[in-house]
Structures are given as C-alpha cells and as structure tokens.
Amino acid sequence: MTHETGFLSDPIVWYALALVLFLGIAWWKIRGPMLGWLDGEIAKVAGELEQAKKLRAEADAVLADYTERQRVALEEADAIVAHAQEEAARLRATAEQDLKAALERCEQRAMQRIRIAEAEALAAVRRAVVDQAVAGAVAALTAKLDDAASAKLMDQAIAEVPHLMPAAAKTA
C-alpha cells in the first residue's frame, strides 16, 4: 500500500480550513453583538469620564471658592491686626498723656503743700520769735521795774485796751 501525499489528504489542512471557517462564521454571527457590547462599554466609559470631568470641575470650583475665602479671611485678619495695632498705639499715647497730666497735678499739689508747710513753718518761727521777744521784754521789764512803775504801766495798758479792741476785731 502506498500512500499518496497530497495537499487535500493532509488532516492539518482540513483542521486549518475548519478553524478558518469556524472563525469566519463566528465573526459573522458574533460581530454585531460583540460590537454592540463594545459600543456599550465605550459609552459607559465615556459617561464615567464625563462624570469625572464634572466632578473635577466641581472640585476646582470648590477649591477656587475656598481659596478666595481664605484670601478674604487673611485680608480681614490683616486688617484686624492693623486696627488693633493702631488702637494700641492710640491707647498708649492717651495713657502717656493721662499719666503725664496726673504727674503734673500731683507735682502741683505737692508744691502747694510745700508752700503751705513753708508758710506755716515761717509763721510758727515768727510766733516763737515774738513769744521769746515778749518773754525777754517781760523779763527785762520785770527786772527793771519796781512795783510802782509796774502798777503805772498796768494802768496804761488797761486804759489802752478799749482802743485796741476795734483794731483787733478788724484784723481778725
């Protein structure tokens, strides 16, 4: 028995031809549903991509809003700090002026008290000097005068008392 080898007698050719035929029929029958499924997946991915773009745009808008709010808040904080510094400087100047005025008033009161104390001390010294002079004069007169001269001076002094009363009332 001899075997002829021909192209059509090889089983691999037939297997290959069957495979090509199967793939052709499968492509012809499956192509529509497969393309529909792929188109659906593409549409689904495109929808998700569009949703992601919308979410990105919303996130950008929210970020811009919060960035603007932060900028405004920082400006307000800077304005508050500047105002507080100005107010502190004004209060410091006012306090310095008030302190200076209070110190001047205290100094004036102290000077007034010193003048009063000086006047009182001077009056006390004058009274002491007058008292000593009078005491000295009394002692000198007492030592020089006898009883008759003393009685005569006393009578003269008593006689002058009515004349001294209006002068004493005027000075008091």
Whether residue 3 is contained in a domain is answered as no
Whether residue 6 is contained in a domain is answered as no
DSSP-assigned letter for residue 7 = T
Whether residue 1 is contained in a domain is answered as no
Whether residue 120 is contained in a domain is answered as yes
Considering its fold, how many domains does the chain have in total? 1
Q: How far is 107 from 103, CA to CA, in rounded Å?
A: 6
Q: How far is 99 from 91, CA to CA, in rounded Å?
A: 12
Whether residue 91 is contained in a domain is answered as yes
- Domain extent at residue 24: 11-171
The total number of residues written for the chain in this structure: 172
pLDDT in tens, the chain (172 residues): 445 567 778 889 999 999 999 999 988 888 888 888 889 999 999 999 999 999 999 999 999 999 999 999 999 999 999 999 999 999 999 999 999 999 999 999 999 999 999 999 999 998 888 888 888 887 877 777 777 777 787 788 888 888 776 554 555 5
Residue 87 structure tokens: 């107010």
